[in-house]
Amino acid sequence: MNYNLKGTGLSVSGEMRAYVDKKLAPAEKFLSASSPVRLDIELEFVSGAAGPKYSAEYTLVLGKKTFRAQAQGTALHEVVDIASDELVQELARAKDKRQHLFRRGAARIKDYLRGFRE
């Protein structure tokens, strides 16, 4: 999967890119190879803040649909974990919804054909 990784207030190392790749592997099963996908990841460090110091923001554009995930925390790996899991859950929810609508439509057609034969 191709993605743009941007670091604001911090440098993005090769180790962090590999870690993000590893965390995005489960999301690839929800994406088809034929449709164009654009994923932007922004990792941010806020210095001097009393609360969370790191934030991660994922924006995935799949055709006409947009999926977003955000997380804030005290460790960079922690926010990448949380945001990646949130993105995977959102993609799974969209897949389940799409399957449910397809099956409901197929059941209607099947019921119609059953009534037509009788």
pLDDT in tens, 97-111: 888 888 888 888 888
pLDDT in tens, 38-55: 899 999 998 875 777 999
pTM attached to this predicted model: 0.80
Number of separate domains in the chain = 1
Residue 24's CATH number: 3.30.160.100
Judged on CB neighbours under 10 Å (0-12, 13-18, 19+), 30 is middle
pLDDT tens across the length of the chain (118 residues): 788 899 998 889 999 999 999 999 888 888 876 678 889 999 999 887 577 799 999 999 988 889 999 999 989 999 999 999 999 999 999 888 888 888 888 888 888 888 866 5
Contact 87, 67 (CB under 8 A): yes
Domain that holds residue 21: 4-117
3-state secondary structure of 31: coil
Amino acid at 13: S
Neighbours of 52 (CB within 10 A): 14
Q: Cα(62)–Cα(98) distance, rounded to whole angstroms?
A: 14
Contact 98, 65 (CB under 8 A): no
